[in-house]
């Protein structure tokens, strides 16, 4: 049967009497039913399995790039040249560009939930390539496949979570998923120095299979179901996520919110005539530029190499593991604070911490160039990398993903997520691909100082131009943006 448009759907209505009767059924006066969030947390935890896999893919880089650069052979793969190492580090972000495009198409065809489900398959293929790798070319394929999956995930994740979550916990659900990525990075850095790449890949396949088995059991977004005209399933989805029978009023509000969503691409692009959306797109683009200066992809991929060059007297893998553990604690703390302190506060504090850390890291290498004894400076890069990682996890690593799911109208959500995820992948590719050439050209001191300047600028921008969305419904955010 042909799907009807949202505008032609039968409208859901609810009377005061109906609401009172439904409230009485649950033993409470009308409008006083206590909200229950556990089903939304179940959905978030199940989805976090795929973010854990993203973390494992990112955490793979630091230990194994170091091994490939220093050892004659790693699991039958000969020592890699600097050019090959650069490709292994860069190709995952290159794959993200095409994954972002695929994720946007999948959202508009099969929906956000199925787009996330499909992302599990290229991840599985990527781990399989690592498990059977006998040359660096297999690693190229693995990184592209993992990057492709990441592109699909980052394009869709925050939109799905923002559509199933209550405003009171929307930020914390998004940040929890970002934090599970940090957990994956931490475990990857912890396991990498002690197990082979093949064993690492086999371990990673376990949560991959669990995600593909469990996540399809979670209901689809009620927004998506309303958009395709399936009101019965949308109502069932809302009942499951809200854990109450009285959802007709919310369903009516959602119908109003998405009533103009099923339009052509040309009609969607016409919304750019509104200054508020141009500002939002510019803001997300600038956030990606600032993320380039933040250099997280550089620090994450080359941390063991950076630690080695800093001439510390501590085993580099230990420093990487400790910083990863603190990043998890930082991410968990921000998960609890984001819906009380706000998005902008965490974003500004995070950026300031990263800027100061990059400045100090440049100073450390400058002191080494001036002939200072590295034995007396060992503490400095350890503290710097710790502060940097904690700062990133507390804000810049998670808040932008939450904002992209909150600032745009239903018509523009897919385009916005594609633009943000795609440009993020482009800048990440540029960052990882240009690090070694720039490092050889200007040296570590001036390179890290260059990065820090961009982050100092971002602090000023965030203070004046990033809106606060804490505790507001998606409808309220759109209403306020018109003012």
Domain boundaries, the chain: 35-218, 264-482
Q: What angle do CA 55, 38, 216 make, to 5 degrees?
A: 55
For residue 122, the model assigns a pLDDT of 95
Measured distance CA(49)–CA(13) in Å, rounded: 38
Under 8 Å between Cβ of 192 and 318: no
Give the CATH H-level superfamily of domain 264-482: MFS general substrate transporter like domains (1.20.1250.20)
Mean pLDDT per 10-residue segment, the chain (483 residues): 43 42 37 70 91 92 84 84 85 89 87 92 95 91 94 87 81 83 88 90 95 92 82 84 76 71 62 77 87 82 80 80 85 81 89 94 91 85 90 85 77 79 83 82 91 93 87 73 66
Residue 73, strand partner residues:
78
Fold agreement between 35-218 and 264-482? yes
Under 8 Å between Cβ of 127 and 208: yes
Residue 2 CB burial class (10 angstroms; 0-12, 13-18, ≥19): exposed
DSSP-derived secondary structure letter, 195: S
Measured distance CA(16)–CA(215) in Å, rounded: 37
For residue 259, the model assigns a pLDDT of 66
Question: Which architecture does CATH list for 35-218?
Answer: Up-down Bundle (1.20)
For residue 415, the model assigns a pLDDT of 80
Q: 404: part of which helix (H) or strand (E)?
A: helix 399-404
Give the C-alpha distances (Å, rounded to integers) separating 386 from 7, 39, 390. 53, 35, 6
Beta-carbon count within 10 A of 273 CB: 8
Measured distance CA(178)–CA(174) in Å, rounded: 7
Threshold 0.85, pTM exceeds: no
């Amino acid at each position: 049967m042909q799907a009807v448009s949202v505008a032609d759907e039968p409208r859901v209505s609810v009377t005061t009497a109906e609401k009172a009767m439904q409230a009485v059924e649950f033993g409470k006066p009308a409008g006083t039913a206590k909200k229950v969030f556990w089903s939304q947390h179940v959905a978030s935890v199940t989805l976090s399995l795929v973010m854990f896999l993203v973390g494992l893919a990112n955490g793979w880089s630091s230990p194994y790039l170091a091994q490939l650069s220093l050892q004659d052979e790693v699991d039958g793969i000969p020592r890699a040249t600097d050019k090959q190492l650069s490709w292994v580090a860069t190709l995952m972000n290159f794959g993200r560009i095409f994954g972002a495009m695929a994720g946007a198409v999948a959202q508009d065809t099969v929906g956000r939930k199925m787009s996330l489900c499909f992302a599990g398959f290229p991840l599985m293929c990527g781990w399989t390539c690592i498990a059977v790798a006998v040359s660096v070319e297999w690693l190229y394929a693995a990184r592209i496949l993992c990057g492709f999956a990441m592109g699909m995930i980052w394009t869709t994740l925050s939109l799905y979570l923002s559509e199933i979550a209550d405003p009171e916990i929307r930020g914390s659900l998004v940040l929890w998923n970002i934090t599970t990525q940090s957990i994956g990075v931490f475990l990857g850095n912890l396991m990498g120095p002690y197990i082979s790449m093949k064993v690492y890949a086999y371990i990673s396949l376990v949560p991959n299979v669990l995600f593909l088995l469990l996540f399809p059991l979670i209901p689809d977004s009620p927004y998506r179901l309303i958009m395709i005209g399936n009101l019965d399933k949308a109502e069932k989805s809302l009942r499951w996520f809200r854990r109450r029978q009285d959802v007709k009023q919310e369903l009516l509000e959602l119908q109003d919110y998405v009533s103009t969503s099923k339009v052509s691409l040309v009609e969607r692009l016409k919304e750019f005539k509104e200054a508020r959306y141009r500002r939002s797109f510019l803001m997300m683009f600038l956030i990606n530029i600032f993320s380039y200066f933040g250099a997280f992809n550089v620090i994450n991929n080359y941390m063991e190499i950076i630690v080695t060059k800093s001439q510390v007297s501590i085993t580099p893998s230990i420093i990487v593991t400790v910083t990863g553990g603190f990043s998890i604690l930082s991410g968990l703390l921000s998960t609890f604070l984001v819906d009380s302190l706000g998005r902008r506060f965490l974003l500004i504090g995070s950026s300031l911490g990263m800027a100061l850390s990059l400045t100090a890291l440049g100073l450390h290498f400058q002191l080494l160039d001036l002939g200072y004894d590295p034995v007396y400076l060992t503490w400095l890069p350890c503290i710097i990398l710790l502060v940097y990682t904690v700062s990133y996890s507390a804000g810049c690593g998670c808040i932008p993903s939450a904002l992209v799911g909150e600032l745009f109208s239903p018509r523009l959500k897919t385009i916005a997520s594609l633009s943000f995820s795609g440009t993020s992948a482009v800048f990440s590719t540029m960052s990882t691909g240009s690090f070694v050439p720039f490092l050889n050209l200007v040296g570590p001191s001036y390179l890290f100082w260059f990065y820090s300047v961009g982050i100092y600028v971002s602090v000023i921008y965030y203070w004046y131009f990033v809106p606060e969305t804490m505790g507001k419904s998606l409808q309220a955010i759109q209403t306020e943006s018109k003012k």
